[in-house]
Structure formats: structure tokens, C-alpha cells
Structure 1
Amino acid sequence: MHLIDTHCHLVSDKLKNNLPEIIERAKACGVKKIINIAYNPQTIILAQEQVKTSDILYATLGIQPHDAKEFSIEEAEKVRPVALTNKKIVGIGEIGLDSHYTLSPIDKQIECFEYFLQIALDTNLPIVVHMRETHNEVYSRIKKYSQKGLKGVIHCFTGTLEQAKDYLSENFYLSFSGIVTFKNASELHEVAKYVPHDKILIETDSPYLSPVPLRGKTNEPAHILHTCEFIAKLRNLKPEELAEITAKNSEDLFYRLRSPV
């Protein structure tokens, strides 16, 4: 099995103190690479330290909408030199907009999102996008920046088929988490079947969103196997085939995963 977890939060309080054990369990399940997603100024620092501890660990750096209240140009600009020089930093994110949980004012979210979109363009790195109940606002910005060459992924996609088609039309990838394994996610099942082979990714979003049959438990990269098996069945593939497809897509998007470090 050749699995890549394209989105987890080993920087989180629930996971950060058990890194060696978590990584070993992931390896035992066939996980070859893990992308650790930073989401605020504190985890941006921590993620840079964590990537030094394992050859399969990489990171992205950004400020998510929930933490956009902590955004400042000074904090954002700390990302730029690291993104340009550290080859284990493979993307910019988690960034985006969220109107479901307005833990940060929407105007601050927009300011933060747009600044990091420009950093991603300047550093030639893909973006990892958080989008919840903000499709029109996120899509309009992605459309503008994709015309300038920006690439990226909508992480933990839970939108409609029409929304999926919008992002796919801009050459973006869609990533599916354990949510796709839930019984009440029938519309998402259809999206997961529809996405072209060359645009689908999988993730855990751990420590959140454990897939069936592990719902309610703390999620971790090893659990991506369950999501892989579920989507493979939806798409009439063997799990090993879907793992190879999504691993290749991960390395195509996050191109630094292919480079020796």
C-alpha cells in the first residue's frame, strides 16, 4: 500500500506529544508520507520543528479562518522565507473562509486569505483551502488567482457536485476525509465517485473526523486506510489502486514531495 495523508494536524494538542508512535503506526498501515498542516502563528513554528523528526513528515504553513484574528502582515511574512528555502514545506495553508463558525470576523478572514494567496503565488507553492459555507467567496478568489498560475486543493471537501465542478474547472484538487465514510453522506458519495482520477486526494484531518468504524475516537494518519478502502469501493477500485492514484496526485500537486530532502 502506498498511502499519503495530505492533511493532518500533528501540531494539535491531542497529537503533538505522541509523534514517534503516531508515525510508526502510520508506516505500519502503508502511509509513506504525511503532510502536517499548520494553522496559526504558534503551529507555524511547531510544524517547522516537527518536520525535522521524520523522513516521511512534511508541512504546510498558514493561518486558517478560525485563527484569522491572529493575522498580521508581520506574522504572515515570517512564512515567506521558510517557504522559499525549506524543501519540507510543501504548501501554503491551511487558509480560507468560514461563515459557519465565525471565530474570526469575516473581514479579517478575507484579509488573511488574500494575503496568503499572494504568498503562495510568490513562492510557487500550492494552497490548502478551508471552505465552509463560503463557496462563492472562496471560488471567486480561486478563479482569479488560478488564472495567474495558482494551484491547490479544497481540503475535507463536503460541498455539492456543482461546487465540485467549479473547483475542478479551475484545475483544483478535491480531498476527502473520514466524513465520506459516514452513512448520512450520500451526496458526498456521489461527488467522490465523480471526481476525475487525476484530481482526487485523501486525508485524515486528524485528530478530527475519524472514519467509520472509528467514529468518536481520536483520528491519526494510520486511519486514512479506512477512507481509502471506502472510496475505492465507491469507485470500483481495489484499495491499492486508489492508494497509488491518490499518492501520485499528492506528489503532482505538492511537487516537493518528490524531491530528496
Structure 2
Amino acid sequence: MEKRLMRLMVMVFFLLTIIMGSKAFASKEVRFVYVPWTCVTVKTEVAEFILDNLGYRASSMMLSVPIAYQALATDEADVFLGNWMPTMSGIATPHFESGRVIQMDPIMENAKYTLAVPRYVNEGGLQHFEDIAKFADKLDYKIYGIEEGNDGNEVIEMMIAENMFGLGDFDIIPSSETGMLSQVQSYTRNNQWIVFLGWSPHWMNNIIDMEYLKGSDETTFGENDGTATVYINVRNGFADDHPMVNSFLENY
């Protein structure tokens, strides 16, 4: 983390030095897209703030994951800082393969994105995807997700549609990051049972005594129980149009 911060500071200084000597950069626009997750929102706001203060015209749009990729692919946006893989593979990979969207080097490895439960639920026997259906009555046949169109929701919907792990009678309850976590906190205050989308790093891991379920593989949230890698994506041609910003993103 310290090395990455140092590289970022050096790159900002380098960009500032170049831009102060050339007004040509000041007229360039950089358009971010982001999804309503705390981690992606904060990263986008910080990058936007830095570029604004370096003389760029930075802007951002909050979109669903599929629409964000459509915007990148059709040159309506430039940068997306929240490509969580492998769960976004179904949405993102066709755009990578077409060459319209470029996946840069990883900015975070060994993250996690999968189903989670409060610790008391885990200790009560729900520790694996295969255990969810065993406790259907306690869970009211519900799995809690976040916003519509989210890749995690799509994985849950697929698991239900294909009756994976006996989940055919379950429903997904879509919400928002804030709405879902408020529901989880409400349930935990009363020791009620709940299964929800969890990910790390995120502040939920600090305020909720929670455990991630085992059982994820390449057909669901990815191997190693939902281990994830996060990438920056840019539209095709972005590196040529904005070489300095592209270098900044490589060190972000």
C-alpha cells in the first residue's frame, strides 16, 4: 500500500510538472463511469479530484455494470475503476474480446466477493453453499443482493434459475449496497438468519461479525471461495488520446 501511494504521488507530481508547462492538456476531458459501491465511488472521486486539479475536465456518471460497459464500448465513457473479476466475466469479457474495452493490469489481488452470513448463522451450521437450502425456512427462502444488473445478483439469479445447490425455490431481494447492509444490521440485532452478498475489502467486514460461505467455484463467484481480482478498464484508444492519464492510472 505504501509503495503504491508513493508511486501515485510521484506520478501526480510528474503530471503536474508537465501540465503546468503546457495548456494543451487542460482542455482534455476524462469521463469516468462508476457503480454505486463505496470502494469504486471513492476511487473514482479521488481520481476525478486529482485530474481536475491537474487541469483536466474530469466527469463521472453512475451506471449499472452492463450500461457502464456499453458506455465504454461506444466511446461514451473513458475509464471504469471497478472491474471485479471473475464475477464480471459474463458482462465484461465480450467487450474485451471485441477490443472495444481494454483491461489494464490488476490494481488489487486477493479480494473476495461471494455470499456471506452473520457469524452466528455460520456457527449454526450454514457454512457452505450446499447448506443454504437446508435452512430455507429460517432464511424465508431469500438471498439479499444489491442493485439490479449487478454481476453478483446475476450469479445468484443463475444459481436459482438452474436450481444449483437446491436453491430453485429461493428469491433474490435486490436493493442497494446501503439498503442491503442496513437489512443485514437489522437482522443481526435480532439474531435473525440472512444470506447476503459480501465483499472485501469493505467496511462491512469491520462493523458486521460475518463469515463468507465456502463452495464457490468457476461456475459461481469464482474459485477459492470467491477470491477476486480488481482491474481498471479503459475504452479502446484511451492510451493514445490521454497518455499521461493512462500512465497515472497504471500507478493508481
Q: State TM-score, norm by structure 1.
A: 0.25
- Which structure would you say has the larger RCO, counting Cα contacts within 8 Å and 6 or more residues apart? 2
Bigger-Rg structure (1/2): 2
The TM-score with structure 2 as length reference comes to 0.25
Higher strand share: 2
